[in-house]
Amino acid sequence: MKMRLIMTMLIFGSIGIFVKKIELSSSEIAFLRGVIGSIFLLLASFIVKHKTSFKALKKNAILLLLSGAAIGFNWIFLFEAYRYTTISNATISYYFAPIFVMMLAPWVLKEKLTSVKVVCIISAMVGLFLIVNPGAGNTSGSQNHVVGVFYGLLAAAFYASIVLMNKFIKNLSGFETTLVQLMVAAIVLFPYIWWQGHLNFADLNTTSIIYILILGIVHTGLGYFLYFTSIKELKGQTIAVLSYIDPISAVIIAAIFLSEGMSLIQMIGGVLVLGATFLSEKLELKIAKKGQTPTPSP
């Protein structure tokens, strides 16, 4: 099961390089990802004969609709982050999501904001400042790193909202919840891209078609299926530790295939952000209800 989860994290870590190769807008990519991914998971549920409680779906309908819409816009902003900055910067800023959860928890979940949590929040903010690194020149070629990191933070904020909403969803497995959310994401994004005038896929080249199929089938459908089938027999602490293969592999893959690098200061910033999020997730595991299914990312 550990190897399956590691494989899943490596799949998630390679998303950025595929998105960068697709000649479509971020909203179009997000829409097609939702459509292809939900079809794959729907077929998988039939193959494994997974039965869903429609009564539970009805009871959680509002939360599923809101969280599904949040997934769609979460993807849009993450893909925009990939376009404006390096995959490393986008990924690390996206991993600010647990910090947002920690900041909102006192109001949404009525959890106490301890001194350790405050230290995590401050450390993450300092790390983010070092990543943006105002004095090092934040615009290079077609990239604007400040804008890219900002989009990464918006994606993180939407992901944090999904995590918080999922805590209130009852009597549905993580697989069922994610399947419905992907379908909702596609349904919500359809009128959005229609309004934006981005419904013409006729000019897609072969390369983009191949990459969008890989993104939908491998990175979404297969990735989420492997995730939920691997975490069943793993402890929460193990899942939390192995989940950091995702951002680390994203940085390494981007360095190998796209020749993207990070300065020493940015590396320190990345360590601060990921270290703070790791500690925040350890704290979350201590207060989480037994049996609660983690929310997959990205």
pLDDT at 289: 52
Identify the pLDDT of residue 220: 95
Task: Extract the residue ranges of the chain whose pLDDT is less than 50.
Answer: 136-137, 290-291
Rounded Cα–Cα distance for residues 234 and 247 (Å): 20
* Pair 82, 90: CB distance under 8 Å: yes
| Tens digit of each residue's pLDDT (9 = 90 or more) over 22-76 | 988 999 999 999 999 999 999 988 888 878 788 999 999 999 999 999 999 999 9
Write the DSSP string, 201-227: -TT--HHHHHHHHHIIIIIIIIHHHHH
For the chain, which residues make up each domain, given as ranges?
2-287
What was the pLDDT predicted at 65? 96
- C-alpha distances in angstroms, 268 versus 129, 242, 275? 11, 21, 10
pLDDT at 81: 95
Portion of the chain with pLDDT greater than 70, in percent: 91
Distance CA(254)–CA(236), nearest Å, equals: 28
Helix, strand, or coil (residue 81)? helix
Four-residue CA torsion sign, 92, 97, 100, 102: negative
Pick from 24, 67, 83, 69: which is nearest to 189 by CA? 69
Q: Residue 122 has what pLDDT?
A: 93
